[in-house]
Structures are given as structure tokens and as C-alpha cells.
Amino acid sequence: MQFQSSSTMQVVLVEGSTDRYICSVDYVKSRKSYLIERNVFDVIKFCYEPRTKEEIKCFSLQSGAISENQFDNFFSEFLLKKGIIKDSSVKETLILSSPLLKIKLRLLSPVVVNFLVKPLVGLFSINAAVILALVFLTSLIHIGVYIYNGDFSRQSAVLNWSDSIAVIALIGAGLIFHELGHATAAYKYGCRKVEIGVGWYIYFIVFYAELSEAWRLKPEKRLIIDCAGGYFQSIFGAILWLAFIYTEQFVFMSAAALLALYSVFNLNPFFRMDGYWIASDLMKITNLRTTAFGVIKKLFTTPFQLIQDMRINRGNLQRTVFFYAMAMVLFYIWFSYYVYSSLFPTSLKVFYDVSNAAFVHKFDLTELTISLAQLLWHGLIIYFVIYFSASMVKQIFGAIRSKYRV
């Protein structure tokens, strides 16, 4: 028998919290609410698609939601008895709210998004994809040669204030088109409630496409939705490159190059960007980061049990999650070292230069604005590293304290 999340349930993030949720579900003739932790929330999300009891057990143990000797009681007395999951033969839908964005401002309603993306669905044909990919690769080669010859640096140095604003506007348009790519792929697979907006995620402003409906799709279709944003962004970059070829205006080349650079950064599988969701759907794991954290906790608390589990469960997925978790740790150690050893001293120097220019010498408004923007960007990256490092250490020490608590 397979089980699936109940349609009568709604899960919302507790205000002011980052890892506690209120789960409300129709129970008999009343509606009951339960306070749950992040790990239990991830188990519920895992049940978006029909799962066997054994699959739910395996995921729960990997994510650290429950211990093995407590699982049967957790499954029968909480998940089933409270109506949180039901027999998957009953067709249902689930409502979940996203905890990722703290502040959201809708820019395009679902009606407008559907109107815009409907004619764009044809871009997912094989012929269109091949032609557009060739144009984009040609633009990348040209941009690379432009940078290698030093032409890019020379022209960047003479950009004025209005040119800089134009580049920023073009990049913003490209990022919105990126989200339209996700929305178009979702529309192709029947999602009609996608909105596009701007929000605040941890420490920086991001554009987003609300894709809650996509969780009902199979991982293979979600994978196409994950890749569609980068695909559309490459189309937009190719258009900018063609505009540069036609007009010889460097603002188009500059925006195309920066968007290409962002596309590479966006494929990083350790940040919650496209690369992360691609990796998550390739492994068919609803919350890859939480599962990886579960592996890291076991490494510090029950390493021998982890090794034994790896030997017993010799599936490729188990090994892939383990190597992903280890790669994530190594990446953040390197990234933290880079930030503390490189960006932090650079930020101090920029801060000194800005202070010196603002209060001691005469300063150029454009240079001061660029320096302040650089300082703000470095500060946000440093904050992110501290935030994530503290979060990881807190979880690891919390797991160790729970294990050895008397």
C-alpha cells in the first residue's frame, strides 16, 4: 500500500521561526492543529507523491526526523491516525506555504503570467532549442574573446552613470525572463497558478516564480522546470549579444556577460538556486539539504551506524546523498575560508577608502556609489557565511547534545 499527504491539511511556518510549523488538518468533524519541527515537515513534503511505508521510513531515518525504534508509533499514531497522510488511491491535493521568502511583492499575477507564457511554450521544441543553443554558444565564444583581448575591461572603465543604470535594468529584465522560463515550463505541464514577484531571501533581494503546483508533478517534469529558467536566461543573453552586434553599444555586451556569469553561479548545487533544485530532483529527494544535514549529524553522532547503514543500503542514492553531504561541507569550508581571508580584508580596505573619500577628500559620486555597492555586496556575503556556518554548527551540536543528554 502507498500513502500520500492529505488534501485537508495546511502547513504554515510559525511567525518569527525558521524551523517550526503549524500543521492543521480536518480530523473527524473538527480541525486539529499540531506544532511540528522542520524534519517532520520534510517527511510530510516527501509524501507529496505516493510512497510506501518503507520509503517513508527510509527518508525519516535519513533526515533525522525520528529514530528507528520510534518510527512505527510515529507512522501509525501521528501520520495515519491524525489524518496527515492517507491512502494514495484517494485523489487529493495539498496546500503548503513556502518558508524561504520572508517578504514577497507580487509583480505579475497568474492571469498575466499565463497570458505571457502561453505563446512561449513553443520554445521548448527540439528545433528551437538547438538553434537557440547554437546562437548562445556563439555569443559566449565572442564574449570570451572580447574579455581575453582586454576590450571588455577597457570599455567597462568608460561606462558612465547612465550606462550603469541601463546595464542594471537589462540584467533585471533578464532575471524576470529567467522566471518566465520556469513559469512557461510549468504552464506546459498544466500549472496555471504561477505568479512572479520579488522577495527577500535570507539576506538579499531575489526574483521568484511561485511554483507550489509543480510539487505535484513527477521529478522528471520538475527537472525540466528547474532548467527552464537558465534556458530562457540564455535566450535573453543571446538577444542582448545580437543587439550589441547590431548597435555596437557596449551596455548590451556588458549585460550579456554578467547574465552569463550569473547563470554559472546559479548552477551551484549548494545554494537554494536552480542547481540545488536540479540536484534535488535528479536524486528525487524533496528536501536535499535537510537530508544532507541528517547525514552530517550522523557522521558526528553515530559514525559507525552511518557506515553500517551505507553497507546495508548499497543503493546508488544512499551513496550519492553521502557524497553530496561531504561535498557540501567541503564547499562551505572553502567558501568560508575564501570570504574570511579575501573578501573580509578587501571589505575593510573599501570601507577605509569610502570613509577617506567621503570625509577627507573630494569624491566622485559615481565612484562612491560603486564602492558603497561593492561594500554592501561583500557585507551580505560575509553575513551569509556567518549565518550558514552558525546554523550548521548549531544543528551539529544540537544533535550531539541530544545524543549524550542524561
Q: What pLDDT is recorded for position 311?
A: 67
> Which of 9-23, 200-214, 328-342 tops mean pLDDT?
328-342
pLDDT over 60 (residue 372): yes
| Interatomic CA distance for residues 118 and 79, integer angstroms | 40
> CB within 8 A of 263, min separation 6: which ones?
230, 233, 234, 237
**Residue 32 CB contacts under 8 Å (≥ 6 apart), including other chains:** 24, 25, 82
Supply the DSSP string of 241-286, one letter for each residue. Answer: HHHHHHH--HHHHHHHHHHHHHHHHHT-TTSSSHHHHHHHHHHT-T
Place of cell 503548503: 96
The pLDDT tens digits of the residues spanning 220-272 come to 899 999 999 999 999 999 999 999 999 989 899 999 998 988 888 888 898 87
Distance in angstroms (rounded) separating the CA atoms of residues 36 and 9 = 13
Q: Residues 309-367: pLDDT tens digits? A: 666 655 556 778 888 888 988 888 887 787 777 777 777 777 777 666 666 655 566 66
pTM above 0.85?
no
Q: How many CA atoms lie within 13 A of 294 on its CB side?
A: 25
